[in-house]
A and B are shown apart, each in its own frame.
Chain A
Amino acid sequence: MKLRRLGVGLLGASLALFGSIAPAHAASTLTIWVNGGDADAYKAASSDWAAKNNVTLNIVAKCGLGDCGMSKLGPAGAGPDLFFATHDNTGSLVKSGVVASLSSTINKTLYPAAVLAGVTSNYQQYGIPISVSNIALATNLALVPSGAPKTWKELESTATSLITSGKATVGIVTHLDGYFMQPFFESLGGYVFENKNGSYTNTKNIGLYSKTLAKNASLMDQWLSEKLFDKSNTYDGSAFTNGKAPYQVVGPWSIDGLDKAGVKYELSGIPSVNGGTARAFSGVSALYLNRFAKNKILAKQYLTEVVQTTAFSKAISTSNSSYPANIEAAAAIDKKSVIAKFGAYGALCLPMPNVAEMNTVWTYWNNSFADWASGKAKFGAAMQAASANLKNALAQG
């Protein structure tokens, strides 16, 4: 009997306890999912704003590649207010309906047109650009004292003469895949989707085997046999650092390794066969607004008052060594720095297609590059196959 009374007492006590804890004050919390490693920089750069407006910022490192799981978590109500993604996800995020337009929030004058194009879908902007990244060409100054090549001819003749004299084993260390080969591919007249004014609107127009490319394709085979490219497709960076390759196509992530190896190099764009510069793909990192955000208005306010400021861009770019998307912040970067060299080339680059179809492209395009490198097919035939397979896959949609 006593025990039962004790039980009832405990029941009452615990209910009273739970009843007395008032629900957490729900006012003004913003949740932001950022790229792994960036959380601290975001917190530091936003703390003043949060304090001034009495907003609790909940910044979580959650995102890596892809869409952060947002296509699933957003509609389920488990998403944040803002989240990080690279711009090539824009198309599929929009198609899934998990992001809300930021057209009325973005200040278009702050960003270069190519960057804006990356976060644009159906004439609306869906992301606020943070940083831009792309590959670039590194020239080994020990082998090529004259420095970065100004023209394709210069590059080709330097490389081939070094190879024939036995000083170099390969001309350009690069991955033989779509992303890395895009500049060479483009200078031969190939393209993925038709691009008008920086936008990909016509995905029916596929140029993996364009007329010009078909005509020039044999050049690619010639370069492979000249050892301008290494057909083993192993991206042997040590050839470059050991002075056995004059050129290497590098990304921002390669710099640490180059510096550590103590090699002297110069960064530049990749010259085009037709003169001028060949365009690599540039990638834009951006913050997107969850359509199902708890507080869209406050999130937009944050984007306007914090994220779109020059100071914020500078802070993030300093913290993760990326090239800022914001024009003013980019102008403030030391022109001699590695980041600036990447950025200078990036300004001339082509935004990576952000249409949902792009996912399919990579598969066929990369496969064809692999077939070509391994000698299974000539470049023209490989690209013809990629083009046909892609058209077929997209038609079945």
Chain B
Amino acid sequence: MSNIGFLQSKKMKFWFKKLLWRHLVGIAVAIFALFPLVWMISAAFDVTGQISTQQLIPMHRGLSNFTDLFSNSEKPFFIWVRNSMVVAISAAVLQTLIGATAAYSLSRHRFKGRKLTLTTILIVQMFPQLLATTSLFLIINSFGLTFSGLGLGHQLPLILIFGGGALGVNTWMLKGFFDTIPSEIDEAAKIDGAGHFVIFTKIIVPLAIPVFIVIFLLSFIGILNEYLITSVILGLDGKSMTVAVGLQQFIYGQYGKNWGPFTAGALLATIPVLTLFLFLQKYLVSGLVSGSTKG
């Protein structure tokens, strides 16, 4: 008996010495990390919609914020979600695709202008695109005058604009990762008669899946967050807005802030993204770093 007690207390001691403080740190940081999310949830179910009376467990609970959100025909939330998903998924796929092909070429091929291309794509991305909204508007407007499907209020031009942002940090990250794949592998495949396209799709791509997932996730959330260019290109029509642009309309005004439906919508918009992230989180650690480590 005493033997077991001794073991237990040793285990306890170990736990105290090695693990307790880690749990304390973890809980403190977890509170910090979850703080706004918890209040977002609480506010979403608080029918009074006032930040001044908001409590962790709302006094007046109910779903009226959600029913308000769904019943507002001028602010069709689900259409916003659909718009956001269409734009963010297509543009993130496009960004990953363009980034991957470019990175492959920059990693595997030696050609004139390679260094210039690498430097250019890194530097160009640092130019703030904010001021470009006017000229982007003018470009898309001329698109629309000639081909209405490519004009303002349509999602395709917006997707292409984001696609143009693929060459940049993403490409550098992917190139860094491709550099770590030993070139002997493609040499061997080349001897077996594989062309560049086969090497890319059959050898490089399968190895880089985790990095692709990370690039896709980062692009995806980046595009979901964009609202300046999005609102300029898609317009402020209820049916054309994205979640990021649309939900802001609830608390847009200087005075008329409507927190209830905003937090309800924010919560609903957060859930799928959060789920996706948690689902793919194991790739995040490896993917984020592998791009920058070189063999």
Interface residues, chain A, CB within 8 Å of chain B? 36-37, 39-40, 60-64, 69, 72-73, 76, 78, 175, 180, 234-239, 241-242, 251, 253-254, 256-257, 260-261
Contacts and interface: CB of A to CB of B under 8 A. Distances in A.
Given A175-B255, A251-B256, A73 B137 contact: yes
Contacts of A64: 236, 252
Contacts of A62: 235-237
A60 B153 contact: yes
Contacts of A254: 255-256
Interface string B132-143: 001001100110
Contact of B237 (A39, A72, A234): A39
Contacts of A61: 235-238, 240
Given A60-B237, A62-B237, A260-B64, 15 more contacts: A37-B74, A60-B152, A60-B235, A61-B238, A61-B240, A69-B137, A78-B137, A175-B255, A234-B52, A237-B52, A238-B48, A251-B256, A253-B253, A254-B256, A261-B48
B255 A260 contact: no
A160 B238 CA distance: 46
B252 A238 contact: no
Contacts of B48: 238, 241, 260-261
Contacts of A260: 47-49, 64
A234 B52 CA distance: 9
B249 interface: yes
A360 B287 CA distance: 50
Nearest to B252: A64
Interface string B236-262: 111010000000010011011010000
A69 B229 CA distance: 13
A53 B238 CA distance: 28
Contacts of A237: 50, 52
A40 B236 CA distance: 12
A103 B289 CA distance: 66
A261 B258 CA distance: 13
B53 interface: yes
For this complex, into which size category does the number of interface residues on chain B fall?
A: 20 to 34
| Complex A-B, nearest 6 residue pairs according to Cβ-Cβ distance, in ascending order | A253-B256, A36-B236, A61-B237, A78-B141, A238-B53, A37-B74
Contacts of B134: 69, 72-73
Nearest to A256: B258
Contacts of A40: 74
A163 B237 CA distance: 46
Contacts of A261: 48
B249 A36 contact: yes
Interface of B: 47-50, 52-53, 64, 74-75, 134, 137-138, 141-142, 152-153, 232, 235-238, 240, 249, 252-253, 255-256, 258
B146 to A, nearest CB: 9
Nearest to A237: B50
A73 B237 contact: no
Contacts, number: 70
A254 B50 CA distance: 12
A40 B75 CA distance: 12
Nearest to B259: A257
A238 B235 contact: no
Given A69-B137, A78-B141, A251-B255, A238 B52 contact: yes
B138 A73 contact: yes
A293 to B, nearest CB: 15
A238 B50 contact: yes
A76 B236 contact: no
Contacts of B138: 73, 76, 78
Nearest to A68: B236
A342 to B, nearest CB: 14
B157 to A, nearest CB: 14
A127 to B, nearest CB: 20
Contacts of B256: 251, 253-254
Contacts of A238: 48, 50, 52-53
A68 to B, nearest CB: 10
A253 B258 CA distance: 9
A66 to B, nearest CB: 12
Contacts of B47: 260
B127 to A, nearest CB: 19
A351 B94 CA distance: 51
A38 B235 CA distance: 13
B238 A36 contact: yes
A55 B3 CA distance: 95
A238 B48 CA distance: 9
Contacts of A239: 52
Nearest to A62: B235
A177 to B, nearest CB: 9
A257 B49 contact: yes
Contacts of B152: 60
Nearest to B238: A37
A388 to B, nearest CB: 26
A254 B137 CA distance: 34
Contacts of B53: 238, 242
B145 to A, nearest CB: 9
Contacts of B240: 61
Nearest to A36: B236
A260 B67 CA distance: 13
A263 B152 CA distance: 44
A239 B50 CA distance: 11
Given A37-B74, A257-B49, A63 B255 contact: no
Contacts of A257: 49-50, 258
Contacts of B50: 237-238, 241, 257
A169 to B, nearest CB: 12
A175 B257 CA distance: 13
A36 B52 contact: no
12 contacts: A39-B237, A62-B236, A69-B134, A69-B232, A72-B134, A73-B138, A78-B137, A237-B52, A238-B48, A251-B255, A253-B255, A260-B64
A203 B95 CA distance: 53
Contacts of B141: 73, 78
Contacts of A63: 236
